[in-house]
Amino acid sequence: MRAPHAAGALTLSADGAYAARLTLGGSRAEGRGWYPERWTLDGPEPYAVPLPLDQPEEPDAQVVPLADGRVLIRRRVADRHAFSLLYPTGPGTGELSLGAVECERMTLIAPAPDGVRVYALAPGIFTTSVWLVAGGAFGPEHVADVPGLCSGGIWLDRAGRVLALDRRPPGGGPVKTVAVDLQRGGEVTPLLQIAPNSDDRLLIAEPDSGLFLLRSDAPGHDRLGWGVLGSALPVRFPECLRTADPSVTEVTGAAAVTSVTPFAVQPGQMLMPESCAVALRIDGAAGSWLGIWRPAGRRLHQFAAPAGWLAGAGSWSREGVLSLPYARPDTPCGVARLEAPRDLPDEAHGGLWRSRGTGEEDGTQPSAAGSSPLGWRPVPLGRAPLHGGPASG
């Protein structure tokens, strides 16, 4: 899982219990401003707690939730990047300053699997610095320098020791994913190299099963491929995950798909990587919708996303239930759940949507270009609190 950077995007904690985003508040007359918002997702009903301070945030600030419910925020202050932890304190917002790092650019990555530590990347001219900005003993700590221009940030183990980064060499050349051992001073090991001159980027990895998905132009143009960490088998590029060839100008049939991006992999499947369900965001001329795929199934199930889905955000349970957070006027904080469809060759495929939140069922229907759900129905729950909640929450 990557930490989204755009204002308004939702970031989940390592265990999926919390989420955080920047959201717009205030009236047009008084002037609207950005403020952090924390979502609690692991209770009977989801609810959101606003975390505003005296001044609105800049839209380029980043927020990442920790496993204890506090929210890390990165702010650009002149030539520095400042870090603080935010948390609810009754009617107000508490703030604990962690320090600052002086650099031109800095980006938070997804929280470490322990849910406590958060790292950041600071790309320079010839190297990229890795910083521990939350969870350390003395504020921001410089951890490693990786030669080249690095981006991404995918954890490869449950201990939070090995980090995968997409790296372009200092002298230029193709992008390759490397594994960086943070306990060995940033020791770098090649991880992906499909072809000598191809750009190979890791998109997501599941440490339990070792299943990973990548994007590579080794087949001639960008394709999604999958493999298993530590396996001697080659990376495979499924036809069902293929988008329209960019060299083809005439598109027939359904609306053209411009990109397919994985955002969640079913955990806990220790010995069955090919049985893991993968959730994908599908973007095309008609907007964004949802795909579910398994390596063993060799087919892509497609569904309309719930109205207000915060596209690209979601998590799987070990049992194969996908949770998708959404926000819309009648439901400022909601979670829709989808049971992963089975891969049956000769029967109707689909899953079952269930909605948790403060509004009613949205009645959306699946994409005509994919499988049909067995049925849509709301889960009868009471109204969840929109604001407030316990400080430790």
75 falls within a domain: yes
384 φ/ψ angles, rounded to the nearest 5 degrees: -90, 150
For the entire predicted model, the pTM comes to: 0.84
* pLDDT attached to residue 250: 39
Position 171 in a domain: no
In a domain, 354, yes or no: yes
Question: Percent of the chain beyond pLDDT 90?
Answer: 69
Average pLDDT over residues 318-337: 95
- Looking from the CA of 14 toward its CB, the CA atoms found within 13 Å total 22
The verdict on residue 277 lying in a domain is yes
The predicted-structure confidence for 260-315, as pLDDT tens digits, reads as follows: 999 999 998 888 999 999 999 999 888 899 999 999 998 999 999 999 999 999 99
Answer whether 318's CB lies under 8 Å from 266's CB. Answer: yes
Model pLDDT, residue 65? 98
> Does residue 392 have a pLDDT over 60?
no
Where is the domain boundary, 107, 122, 137? 107
pLDDT in tens, 237-272: 999 998 764 543 333 344 577 899 999 999 988 889
Domain that holds residue 44: 1-107
Taking residues 32-55, report their average pLDDT.
93
Whether 373 has a pLDDT exceeding 70, the answer reads no
Is 84 a domain residue?
yes
pLDDT at 342: 87
DSSP 3-state assignment of 310?
A: coil
- The 10 Å Cβ neighbour count of residue 305 is 22
> Residue holding tokens 């910083």?
131
Q: Distance between CA atoms of 18 and 237, rounded to whole angstroms?
A: 34
Q: What is the pLDDT of residue 379?
A: 25
The 11-12 sheet, strands edge to edge: 11-12, 18-25, 33-40, 47-50
Model pLDDT, residue 391: 33
Higher-confidence position of 128 and 369: 128
DSSP single-letter state for residue 309: B
Q: Please check the confidence at residue 352 and state whether its pLDDT lies above 70.
A: no
What pLDDT shows up at residue 349?
Answer: 39
Lowest-confidence pick of 123-137, 338-352, 359-373 = 359-373
- 20 neighbors 71 (Cβ within 8 angstroms): yes
Q: Of how many residues is the chain composed?
A: 393
Nearest to 17 by CA among 112, 115, 86, 108: 115
Q: What is the pLDDT of residue 343?
A: 83
Give the pLDDT score at 161. 96
Tokens of 29: 């007359």
Average pLDDT rounded to a whole number, residues 351-373: 37
49, 80, 107 - which closes a domain: 107
Among 107, 124, 148, residue at a domain's last position: 107
User: What sign does the CA torsion over 6, 7, 8, 9 have?
Assistant: positive
More confident residue, 384 or 295: 295
pLDDT band at 26 (very low <50, low <70, confident <90, very high): low
**Domain contains 113:** no
Report pLDDT for 381.
23
Task: Classify burial at 278, counting beta carbons within 10 Å of its beta carbon; exposed 0-12, middle 13-18, buried 19 or more.
Answer: buried
203 is a domain residue: no
Centroid of chain to Cα 74? 18
The number of distinct structural domains making up the chain is 2
Q: Are 187 and 181 in contact (CB under 8 A)?
A: yes
Within a domain: 116 = no
Q: Tell me which of 51-55, 182-186, 286-290, 345-349 is least confident.
A: 345-349
Q: Give the pLDDT confidence score for residue 3 in this predicted structure.
A: 60
Could you give the CA distance from residue 368 to residue 343 in angstroms, rounded to a whole number?
18
**The token pair that represents 370 in the structure block:** 């994919």
Is the pLDDT assigned to residue 81 strictly greater than 50? yes
More confident residue, 360 or 37: 37
Sheet with 321-328: strands ordered across:
315-316, 321-328, 331-339, 352-356, 375-376
